[in-house]
A = this chain, B = another copy of it.
Amino acid sequence: MRDVYHEELNSIGSTLIEMTGLVGTAIGRATTALLEADLQTAESVISADDAVDALQQQLDARALDLLARQQPVAGDLRTIITSLRMSADLERMGDLARHVAKVARLRYPDVAVPPQLRDAIAEMGRIAGELAQKTAEIIDGRDVNAARELQDDDDAMDRLHRELFGSLLDKKAEFSTETAIDVTLIGRYYERFADHAVSVAKRLIFLVTGEPI
């Protein structure tokens, strides 16, 4: 009986890693869709988010079932509660990737991002994908050190986000209001994606060390 129980606990961990992989792929593809005005890719990112939502629902149902049937204490209880919270973060990261793809779709066949801001958005997309990749490794290896280092990548994202506003406000560029709205929202989506990756990493630190978040 206890073996099945621990298999189920492990399978929750695997699902978290799978969800992290999916949202990492999604934010990378959403960035491509956005910068290339690639409608097909945008559509596929939007519809693929259903798989992330489904995984979250399955994971949460299994976690609640384990809580009810096994009445775990101490470390196992902490693992299950933390998994529920991580799955909420990951589900939200999926939503944010979908939001980026929706901006691409809304402006198609135009490119929502003006040429002067392409590099900044590409870099935000790259960092977001890297954060997801590292988050998967952190969960897989229960790697507290890597989890602490993730904060640095998020600092880079925050810096890019501030610079993006600076570029938008550049008097010489004279961006349209539509561009200002689009880029403000897109920037916010990437920044929030990164925040949730950091949140997952902090939860992993709590899980392993008991340090409050």
Contact = CB atoms under 8 A, between A and B. Distances in A.
A77 B67 contact: yes
Per DSSP, chain A at the interface is: helix
A168 to B, nearest CB: 6
A5 interface: no
Contact of A180 (B71, B184, B212): B184
Contacts of A181: 165, 168-169, 180, 184
Chain A interface extent, by class: 20 to 34
Interface in A58-110: 64, 67-68, 71, 73-74, 77-78, 81, 84-85, 88
9 contacts: A64-B77, A67-B81, A68-B74, A84-B84, A88-B88, A165-B181, A168-B177, A175-B177, A177-B177
Interface of A: 57, 64, 67-68, 71, 73-74, 77-78, 81, 84-85, 88, 165, 168-169, 175, 177-178, 180-181, 184-185, 188, 212
